[in-house]
Every structure is written in C-alpha cells, then in structure tokens.
Amino acid sequence: MATNDTVTAPAAELAEDAVERFLRYVRIDTQSEEDSETYPSTAKQLDLLRLLLGELRDLGLEDAAIDEHGYVTATLPSTVAHEVPPIAFFAHVDTAREVSGANVDPQRRRYDGGEIRLGDSGQTIRPEESPQLEHHVGHDLITTDGTTLLGADDKAGVAEIMTAVAYLVAHPEVPHGPVKVAFNPDEEIGRGVTHFPVESFGAVAAYTVDGSTAGEIQQETFSGAQVRMRIRGRAIHPGWAKGELVNAIKLAADVVGRLPRDTRSPETTEGREGYVHPVVVSGDSSEVELRFIVRDFENDLLDEHVELLCGIAADVAASDPRCSIEVETRVQYRNMRDTLEQHPEIVANLEEAVRRLGLEPRRTAIRGGTDGSALTEMGLPTPNIFTGGHDAHSEREWICVEDMGLAAAAVVETARVWAER
C-alpha cells in the first residue's frame, strides 16, 4: 500500500469527500434477503438507491434514472473532441446476511498500532488476524462499534465512485470519454445484475469497485455454485418412536459430518484452493434444508465439489429407505478470467491508472465473486478495483481513509487513461 508521502494531491482531496459520503451511506440498512421473491430482495435497498439517484441529478447528470429493478444509472458526458469508447463503474448497495447492517455506528480513529478494541462489544481487530493492519500505522481508519458490520462491502465502492464523479464534474479540464455509473442491489445473494440491461447500457468495458487492499486489481474470481438439500425423515410422536422415527436433523448432521475435515473448506484452504461450505440449516426433526456454497477457480474442479456433495447426499439417503434427500444445484457465476484475457487493454488501462497514483498494481485472484463475474459472462468485460476495505462480512470490518481517496482517484485516472489511449 502507499505511504503518506506517495499519496497524490487529488487522492488526498478525494479521501475526505469519500469518507463524508461513506459515513452517510453506511447508516442506511440495505441488507439483502436470499429467500425473497422480489427484486430488489428488500425494499430498504431502495432507500439508498433513490438517495444516489438524487445526488447524481444534483451533480447535473441529466440522464440519471432508476428502473423497475432498482438499477440506478447515469452518464458523465465526454470532455474530449475525439471518440473514446464509453466505460462504466459499478458498485452494489446491499450488505451481507452474516452480520446485521442496521444501526451502524462507524468509528473514525488514528491507528497507532496493536489491537483495536471495538467499544464494549468484546470484538477486537488483531494484527495477526488482519495482516493488512500493520501497514496502516499512522493512518486514519474507520471501524464499527463491534455490534454490526461496517458496510464497506460495498458502500465504500459506492462512495468512491460518487466522489470520482463529483470530482470530474467539478474539473471539466480532466480529459475523459463517456463515463457511465451503475449502482445495483442484491450482489450479496448472487443476483446483483440478473436483470441489468447490458446491451442498452452501451459500455464497452466496466469496472466493479468492490475490492480490498490498495493497489490490488482482479481479473479473476472464483466460479460459484449453490447446492440445496431438502432432507425428509419420518415423523412420529417421540413417545412411540422406536423403530418408526427417522430424524431429519440427525440425517443433516450426518451429511455435514461426512464433509472433508482438512480440505475443501474455507477454514482449511487458501490461495487457489476451492471449497464446499455449509451456510444455512433450517427445519425440524421431520424435514431439514441444508444450503451450501461451492467455490473454485476452475470449472471442472467446481463440478467435482458439487459431485462430492451429491455423492454424500446419496450415501446418507441410502442409509434408510424411509428417508429421502432431494438435491438442487445451480451455477451462480463463472470465473471472468478467460474473457478478460481476450481484452487485455481493459486491465492494462487500469494498471496504468494505479501506477499514476504512485502504487505498483498487483493482480490478485478473488476468493469470492463480484458482479463483474456475471457482467463479463453477459458480454460486458468487468475486472475489479480495490476499495481499501478489509474483513468484510464481520463486526471487525475496517477501512483506511487514505485508501478510499486512492480508490476514488483510481476511478478518475482510469477514465483519463481511456481518453489518452
């Protein structure tokens, strides 16, 4: 990451604007809901989306609009006479299900090293558990109070895009082609751009601002799948259950108990290793639903992980002819690597923008997914840009103020590079 003496003047200026926006946005609860049948999955996401629409209109973006799916889009017109392909920047407004996003109370502090105790919550951010923390001594950080998540995933990206747009509006001397922005719901439940009108949107390339460490860019994500098991036992009053009862909870426990203990799980893998991960269990002794997410960088290995789960389900179901296990599988998104490698200029332009900030760009692979995975598959090649946020989906989430300025500046510089090449 950059030290203070390498932060460019625009990045330093942009940081405070980004923080002001961020602190407003995170106080709006936008948690999505996987089991909802509406789109967006929760109406409260529209509270932030409509706010963004108003802010874009206040900046003078005349075509700013929100559609029936909650997608907020707008275009910043070109400032150059020659033709430049239109590019876009995306960020999602929803937050994850793991931790509440209601009543967020962000805390700004100067970090002097060591552990960060989050009020009286019992939560602590420790350098050994959050390795990037040691690189931020002397920097301003924003944390939670330990009772909610922060929402930097991805309200930091939202704030940084809005800050970059405001800067470009205020500085028409900065050369850039048409710059489009899009804010969407439901990324955290894998449906962020399901209905996005890629063809009419008109961009030739896009960037999600949904990453982590300053200087990192990603053109590769996991491929993702979901597996649902509906486990049916045999119900009867427990007082007369001998020889009759088949307990679905015990069957579900048997399924989970057969998962590999030392491999193929998030807690035992790193780098390019994939995993299967049980995320939801619900039901009672007669019927239980188990949900898994399955991840790998290679599609054939993703298929192997799914087959492992199907095999476990079949074995457990065969243990008693009176039970059944119905398995549903679906691919959520694919690794965007292969498509982006066919358009090397998209990532190359981003790398040049990062270098102009005094950072050395580092290509990393995301052990997760972004809306860029789906957008790329839909025909809009979309790599990912850092935001400066860390430890997402937890009460220990934090973000560096200086890095927020760098992320906003990266958006500005990316638009400039496209106009100059």
Question: Which residues does the annotation mark as catalytic?
Answer: 94, 187
What DSSP line would sit under 170-224, residue for residue?
A: H-TTS----EEEEEES-GGGT-TTTT--HHHH--SEEEEE---STTEEEEEE-EE
Alpha-carbon separation of residue 279 from 27, 46, 208, 294, 412 (angstroms): 26, 26, 25, 10, 38
Terminal Cα distance for the chain, rounded: 27
The secondary element (H helix, E strand) that includes residue 156 is helix 152-170
d(CA 96, CA 78): 35
- Asked whether the beta carbons of 301 and 200 are under 8 A apart, the reply is no
Q: Tokens representing 87?
A: 């590019």
- Asked whether the beta carbons of 375 and 383 are under 8 A apart, the reply is no
Phi, psi dihedral angles at 45 (to 5 degrees): -65, -30
Alpha-carbon separation of residue 306 from 80, 199, 254, 296, 302 (angstroms): 50, 32, 17, 11, 6
d(CA 272, CA 255): 25
- Asked whether the beta carbons of 138 and 43 are under 8 A apart, the reply is no
